[in-house]
Amino acid sequence: MATSAERDDVPTPDAWLARKRDALARVELEPRATSIGRVEQIADGIAFVSGLPDVALDEVVELECGVRGFIHSLDAASASVVLLDSGETVRAGMRVAGTGRVLDVPVGDAMLGRVVDPLGRPLDGGEAPEAASRLPVERAAPAIIERDFVSEPLQTGVLVVDALFAIGRGQRELIIGDRATGKTSLAVEAIVNQKHSDVICVYVAVAQRATAAQRVIDAVREQGAFERCIFVVASAAAPPGLQWIAPFTGFSIAEFFRDRGQHALIVIDDLSKHAATHRELALLTREPPGREAYPGDIFYLHARLLERAAKLSPALGSGSLTALPIAETDAGNLSAYIPTNLISITDGQIVLDAALFAANQRPAVDVGLSVSRVGGKAQYAALRDVAGRLRLDYAQFLELEMFSRFGGLADARVNAQIERGKRIRALMTQPRFNSLRVADQIALLAALAAGVFDGVAPDVTAWVRDKLSAANDAHGDGSTAVWLRNALDETVRDSLSGRIRVLVERAMHERPDAKQQERRLDEQQTW
């Protein structure tokens, strides 16, 4: 039974109506129009919709069933929508509404150490990252006036790359080669080596097998600084829309750190599959095909993407974004459509050769076809000093070795050059995750030039290199030394060569077979 107080709280009908009239009077009534479209056709992850006259390119739209997509192309009476989710529940006749915003992605420190999809949704089983802000996936590249010269090195820890094809912070260096020649492994080496630097790494997997992407994640977790890496994964099973936006998402995430004065490295694995996805979407949306059925804007697609890698001017914080895109060739054909496009866009290429890989020379870098257009400007002066003639000597060795297969060469000078080339090859053949500090790279090349390795077996050379790389984790990068930034004087050069000579003598004592090989080499040279 209600008390008298409770009965007093119950408003009378007249009071209740008066209260509602006051609430309605305070509402500002105005006409509001909402565009509602309709799905006309749906197939293969593409929906053709009508009735959305005000939508813009790259605008996100939502379908009645909760599936999202973005506007890929516009016609006079319809628009093609690339779905970002599975389209199994989408049916013709469903309502479509525009959201008024373009595709964007969460960015910030909360993304570090996370595995996400191209929309920023977690794939590692954790909570959604609480991002500081969001950035559009499509952003304009820095203007020329906003850029600075690429002059600071980005060390990969791989001797053949750091000595012959230096990569600078803000550079775009293409890694290209046939299938299963170690392209991803070389890029992962560069990521792992940044555990001794201040570089933040972003790895983007485009249309890769889920197991392949997981292997990369596990390798970085075990060997590198996982807490300073971000992984954007659009596997081969993901919708084509996610595969298409994945590289752009990775660049936006990396640009957040670049724009606040930090240094970032992005690896895109790979752009050949991204080009195939772009061709698939273009054909499904009825764009006119061109060469090899690719649409006419395929060059612009990757040009506007890779132009976003840059070294910013001091006025903008001096941040940098270095790009290592990966491309796959067929039977070593570098003159194919997509490889030539990417080679013309980037600042150089590291070519991996299937024959070298099969010969167990890894990384299988083709020294003759690889090039860095930044060159020595991005190297430490000390490393540039000792590596000056290395590429020429190695190229001459490869040519002499080819001719020596037809018969013995009696010239002692030629034989000595071939033996020296074998030591160079032994240094360049570097196992995975055996990165070398820049100081150790300089010491090895200085010792090579001083003849420390002459007369010893090539496997002794490899043993010395592995001993140096084993100390990498304990002593860090060592790139802050002042003497690295100047050409080597004789005192420093002799000191470095003496350090390697001690290791060579130690190898001769610890490896009994090494002395036998040394005697055999002396006999061959004497003969």
Just list the catalytic residues: 373
Per the DSSP assignment, residues forming a β-bridge with 391 are none
Measured CA to CA, the distance from residue 119 to residue 104 in angstroms comes to: 7
Q: Indicate if the alpha-carbon torsion angle 274, 276, 282, 287 is positive or negative.
A: positive
Phi, psi of 429 (to 5 degrees): -85, 105
Measured CA to CA, the distance from residue 211 to residue 213 in angstroms comes to: 5
H-state helical runs in 298-389: 298-306, 337-345, 354-358, 381-386
Q: Is 86 helix (H, G, I), strand (E, B) or coil?
A: coil
Measured CA to CA, the distance from residue 401 to residue 403 in angstroms comes to: 5
Q: What amino acid occupies position 457?
A: A
Task: Report the relative pairing of strands 104-107 and 133-136 from DSSP bridges.
Answer: antiparallel
- The residue behind tokens 């605008």 is 59
Measured CA to CA, the distance from residue 54 to residue 59 in angstroms comes to: 10
Residue 7 half-sphere exposure toward CB, CA atoms < 13 A: 4
198 is written with which tokens?
A: 């201040």
Residue 329 half-sphere exposure toward CB, CA atoms < 13 A: 25
Characterize 60-84 residue by residue with b for buried, 16 or more Cβ atoms within 10 angstroms of its Cβ, and e for exposed. Answer: bbebbeebbbbbbbeeeebbbbbbb
Measured CA to CA, the distance from residue 206 to residue 240 in angstroms comes to: 10
Q: What amino acid occupies position 270?
A: D
Measured CA to CA, the distance from residue 159 to residue 225 in angstroms comes to: 21
Residue 160: alpha-carbon gap to chain centroid: 19
417 is written with which tokens?
A: 């050059």
293: left (phi over 0), alpha (psi -120 to 50) or beta: left
Q: What amino acid occupies position 368?
A: G
Q: Is 40 helix (H, G, I), strand (E, B) or coil?
A: strand
301 is written with which tokens?
A: 């697609």
Measured CA to CA, the distance from residue 515 to residue 98 in angstroms comes to: 77
Measured CA to CA, the distance from residue 45 to residue 24 in angstroms comes to: 45
Per the DSSP assignment, residues forming a β-bridge with 365 are 352
Measured CA to CA, the distance from residue 269 to residue 236 in angstroms comes to: 12
Q: Are 95 and 64 in contact (CB under 8 A)?
A: yes
